[in-house]
Structure 1
């Protein structure tokens, strides 16, 4: 399909795609495909006011009924999976299977949230006082602002929105300025679900705002938006987190990864090579869970690097819509320049670079690069700085404690993994003295988190979690109640007075 066919299939109209102030370019060839209209910062007060009004109605809708809306969203996403996946490819540059896989994640979190709508459990707590009972109840908090990044332009919204909606919270979504088209298409899908759901969904329940820093600032600073879920760099998190906490709001931050894999002498190297390649070059290294540091036992390092170099040389780079292509473009020229700068810095620090060159032959006119393997003598400043590109730094170790120390000695802390067939090494890695990341895997790469487990947890900023497990508690407030069902009121010992 042409890009016009994809946009039309997603229901995007010429009025939505033209005469706006925000230019949208496809990473595939760098061509401008739309000019969309931005939300004025002056309009944000009314957007937030609509969300506050919606909250007052939505919080009183029974949670299982709220789950029905999310069930309908899942149905609409299933019906639109092919078109929305193609739009993710067009706008974010993902290969076709990854674009479709992202939409599947949206469907999966809807399924999870539908069940969750009947499981927002509290506790009954034993009271120390005779004739009393204590209970714990979870209540909706209010509007939830979702600020998402370009690399997962639709899945991150769904992780937040599905949970927030069943928890009783309206949603205001600010997507990346690099991927507004997928957001507009997804919002239309949401509106179709709301139309089918009926009058129980108040006006302003789900809103989309498009714009730059001023629009984001309005969400982050508003006391009427108690929850801000932001996905992006640690730099962004350092800005957003303190601002939200300064007004006693709740930040949910999923930030940088700089994720590492430890490869032990006992590892199944065939399995490890497949996991390394998928984790390091998938989405052109532009996942928050991409593998960026490989910490290999000295005894197997040369063999593993040789295997990886051979595997890297066989990878097809090009238009992500073409069959057989495994590496698509970087999001823009700025990302390509950042990759080349990081490789230059690594060389200065003693690194030996394999690959990483800019690719111009056989690709459209976008920002393409070969994946890079960089053997490093130490974990330098460049290695500790996350670069959103297909760069994999290789370090060596002799003892497991040394490897774990290298793994933890970076400011980012999203995901991690170890490849070993030694149960002691695996359990040590998963213990309190092991990986300090929010995700720790054994014999599987750092990417590919699935619905069901809470996603991530950024150590540097004390960030929150999205998606599965008990992440729903981040979208609600806890209330503990004591009920006196006796005929007596307990008083402090020795206190008496007449009534």
Structure 2
């Protein structure tokens, strides 16, 4: 593969379209701004065009309503059967690793090894979650009451919202979604508004995995938009848990809203890490890593 950093705007656009087609997504990139979802690459700082797809029209209320309906039946599916969705997703990711890494490179600007590594993390969490689907056991506890025993049983929680950030456009979603789906919880994903292509491509793969496993195609949905969309997810009482990755400011806005309705939240915030380079370091390697 040639260096993606040397490509012109039209070449980057074509490469992204080729990757989407390889994955099987019907999303199209057009040079003019026909939709509100624009695609920008940090490789050259330019807008590649706008993306159009039927999935980009969904609203928070629509997706949460669908997720709530699916939850009523999905929670009753045996966990090992739910794990089949994630097993098929792992297969899809292995088959389309290069194409998805292409999109990560184009939208985020990662070097090739980092982009491939992020997709590999998705594959790894799928493998972990499939194993977990056969280990959702609880404890049997002795009781002081004669002829009684206490049994611990884990129950599905409900629809799970996932807000992911620009710097890890697909791995963060996978860490949350793979576990949630195995645990019986449908997922609503709000990706960064800077990475619509990776989100559409990933959603194509997980929908195909769901069909292959005989699961509802909308067991994982995606909703696009700015911070207002995230605020809607945080405020919706039907979203049992919201996992949000982003800035500390975002966390301060989200956490009180979720807590006020007695929802649950997982927050991964503020990863501004310094790097110290020693004089003896390989500077070329350090620059690529940083």
Instruction: Provide the TM-score with structure 2 as the length reference.
Output: 0.88
Write out aligned runs for 1:39-438 (5 A): 43-198=59-214, 201-258=215-272, 291-292=273-274, 305-308=278-281, 311-312=282-283, 314-315=284-285, 326=288
Aligned position for 2:20 = 10
Is residue 21 of structure 1 aligned with residue 36 of structure 2?
yes
Once residues 146 and 191 of structure 1 are traced to their aligned partners in structure 2, the CA distance between those partners, rounded to angstroms, is 17
Shift of 1:60: 0.9
Once residues 189 and 94 of structure 2 are traced to their aligned partners in structure 1, the CA distance between those partners, rounded to angstroms, is 21
**Residues 236-280 of structure 1: CA distance to partner in whole angstroms, max 9, x if unpaired?**
11111111111110101111234xxxxxxxxxxxxxxxxxxxxxx
Structure 1 SS opposite 2:259: helix
Higher strand share: 1
Q: Relative contact order (alpha carbons < 8 A, sep ≥ 6): 1 or 2 greater?
A: 2
Higher helix share: 2
Write out aligned runs for 1:436-455 (5 A): none
Cα 1:33–1:5 change in 2 (3 A) is: same
Unaligned runs of 5+ residues in structure 2 are 3-10
Unaligned runs of 5+ residues in structure 1 are 259-290, 295-303, 318-325, 328-389, 391-499
Instruction: Provide the TM-score with structure 1 as the length reference.
Output: 0.52
Once residues 305 and 65 of structure 1 are traced to their aligned partners in structure 2, the CA distance between those partners, rounded to angstroms, is 51
Once residues 34 and 255 of structure 1 are traced to their aligned partners in structure 2, the CA distance between those partners, rounded to angstroms, is 30
Once residues 188 and 114 of structure 1 are traced to their aligned partners in structure 2, the CA distance between those partners, rounded to angstroms, is 20
Once residues 147 and 286 of structure 2 are traced to their aligned partners in structure 1, the CA distance between those partners, rounded to angstroms, is 72
Once residues 104 and 15 of structure 1 are traced to their aligned partners in structure 2, the CA distance between those partners, rounded to angstroms, is 26
Once residues 293 and 6 of structure 1 are traced to their aligned partners in structure 2, the CA distance between those partners, rounded to angstroms, is 32
C-alpha contact (below 8 Å) 1:40/1:211 kept by paired residues: no
Cα 1:76–1:40 change in 2 (3 A) is: closer
Shift of 1:40: 6.4
Please tell me the root mean square deviation across aligned C-alpha atoms, in Å.
2.1
Structure 1 SS opposite 2:270: coil
Which of structures 1 and 2 has the bigger CA Rg? Answer: 1
C-alpha contact (below 8 Å) 2:162/2:242 kept by paired residues: yes
Once residues 127 and 244 of structure 2 are traced to their aligned partners in structure 1, the CA distance between those partners, rounded to angstroms, is 23
Q: How many residues align?
A: 273
